[in-house]
Amino acid sequence: ATHKLLLLPGDGIGPEIMAEVKKVIAWLNARGGDTFETEEDLVGGAAYDAHGKAISEEAMQKALAADAVIFGAVGGPKWDGVDYEVRPEAGLLRLRKDLELFANLRPAICYPALADASSLKHDVIEGLDILILRELTGGVYFGEPKEITDLGNGQKRGVDTQVYDTYEIERIAKMAFELARTRRNKVTSMEKRNVMKTGVLWHEVVDDVHKRGYEDVELEHMLADAGGMQLVRWPKQFDVIVTDNLFGDMLSDVAAMLTGSLGMLPSASLGAPDGKTGKRKALYEPVHGSAPDIAGTGAANPIAMIASFGMALRYSFEMVEEADLVDRAIAATLEKGLRTRDLAGQGDAVVSTAEMGDAIVAELENL
Ligand code: NAI
Ligand code: MG
């Protein structure tokens, strides 16, 4: 099959790390089997400079037509003064909204070669491989009312509203169980049912989905605060953690720091399967931003971006063997001691963005 990719490199280091993904795509295309057709467009500050908005309608159409969007990063000090509606981040929010990407997948993986460099104890994180599944389009970030009102007595009141409907919990719970089946078959659901009505409903709906067709998967419930503690204490007890937008935002950032550098962390955002084709809309991006402080210096670590493309192979194209190859090539490159500046310890030799990308492709060739 031929898969259609839209590449949106964005700003700062975005284009530099996307260049390394293109090497991996070229390698896969030359190898035979499934191939990729790529289109490229502007997003973020680059799109604002060209069109006055963070993503053009034409690029949005391409995103809707693509099998997957591969996204670099957006933003930078150049656009700090730009209006809220057209600021670089608006491009990403528009994509998430129009593609209806309701699920955010954030793996936390500890490559053996980096276990000693982490701030945590070696045995806590060595071999860590967990997946945090965050609900992305509901909850307190979007619920109404959302306002600041003047109470007239010198006081103001800020209001955010947490809202979840059954269908929103159902679809993310289903995804959690299905992902767990491809992994170690365990789901931990986190909420705060002791103090939140949405937590009570979340718990009930997850249980219900579990009973209707997923009883082969182990399900555990945990209060989100206790979950945060367990995540730091002994993260290897988890396989898939499913949680709401707010808790997921925090817990995935905590999990991120278990494994070290921001430059290592991939992510995927998925939508519902299409009624006709069964294919999900999807966007893959590194967790980090555009790193304006190192843009143009060749210091960017391309691993998060390449691993994000690896997630596209796994979750959009069922190219599990190739996805595993990409992960193993990254691990092998690190095993050989190659380090971009963000990963380098004292005495380590430092390689550039392009050298790291080339080394990963060379490992692909070897494996
Ligand atoms: P950042 O993630 O861009 O950078 C934080 C620190 O990590 C910097 O010191 C940077 O040099 C380093 N870093 C990040 N990625 C790296 C990589 N691949 N290799 C080596 N070092 C790396 O976050 P920051 O500085 O808060 O934001 C910079 C800009 O990025 C802002 O305009 C922000 O709004 C935007 N941003 C965009 C995101 C996106 O496109 N999804 C996400 C987060 C921030
Ligand atoms: Mg966050």
Per-residue model confidence as pLDDT tens digits over 270-313: 998 888 988 999 999 999 999 999 999 999 999 999 999 999 99
Ligand 2 center–CA 233 separation, angstroms: 21
Ligand 1 center–CA 292 separation, angstroms: 7
Chain-centroid distance of CA 47 in Å reads: 22
> In terms of DSSP bridges, do strands 266-273 and 280-286 run parallel, antiparallel, or are they unpaired?
antiparallel
Angle at 346 between CA 340 and CA 347, to 5 degrees: 85
d(CA 244, CA 192) in angstroms, rounded, equals: 10
Q: Which ligand is nearest to the CA of 342?
A: 1
Question: In ligand 1, which atom is closest to the CA atom of 13?
Answer: 18
In this structure, how many other beta carbons lie within 10 angstroms of the beta carbon of residue 61?
13
Question: In ligand 1, which atom is closest to the CA atom of 75?
Answer: 32
**C-beta of 292 in contact with ligand 1 (< 6 A):** yes
Whether 4 sits among the annotated catalytic residues: the reply is: no
d(CA 217, CA 210) in angstroms, rounded, equals: 8
Going by C-alpha positions, the residue among 140, 158, 243 that lies closest to residue 193 is 243
Output the residue whose Cα is nearest ligand 1's atom 11: 291
Q: Is the pLDDT of residue 260 over 80?
A: no
Q: What separation in angstroms does the CA of 132 have from each of 119, 248, 281, 332?
A: 21, 7, 19, 25
Ligand 1 center–CA 257 separation, angstroms: 14
Q: Is the pLDDT of residue 86 over 80?
A: yes
Return the H-helix or E-strand segment holding 272: strand 266-273
Going by C-alpha positions, the residue among 176, 108, 95 that lies closest to residue 137 is 95
Report the b/e string of 196-220 with b at 16+ CB within 10 A.
Answer: bebbebbbebbeebbeeebeebebe
- pLDDT-derived band of residue 118, with 50, 70 and 90 as boundaries? low
Ligand 2 center–CA 251 separation, angstroms: 9
Going by C-alpha positions, the residue among 261, 284, 317, 268 that lies closest to residue 113 is 261
Q: Which ligand is nearest to the CA of 75?
A: 1
Q: Which domains does the chain have, with CATH numbers?
A: 1-110+265-367 (3.40.718.10), 129-258 (3.40.718.10)
Catalytic residue among 22, 141, 160, 324: 141
Output the residue whose Cα is nearest ligand 1's atom 30: 289
Note the pLDDT tens digit of each residue in 22-66: 999 999 999 989 999 999 999 999 999 999 999 999 999 999 999
Whether 348 sits among the annotated catalytic residues: the reply is: no
Which residues neighbour 277 within 8 Å (Cβ) at sequence distance 6 or greater? Answer: none
The complex scores an ipTM of 0.98
What pLDDT, on the 0 to 100 scale, is given for residue 19? 98
d(CA 224, CA 191) in angstroms, rounded, equals: 5
Choice from 290, 301, 341 to test ligand 1 binding pocket (greatest atom count within 8 A of CB): 290
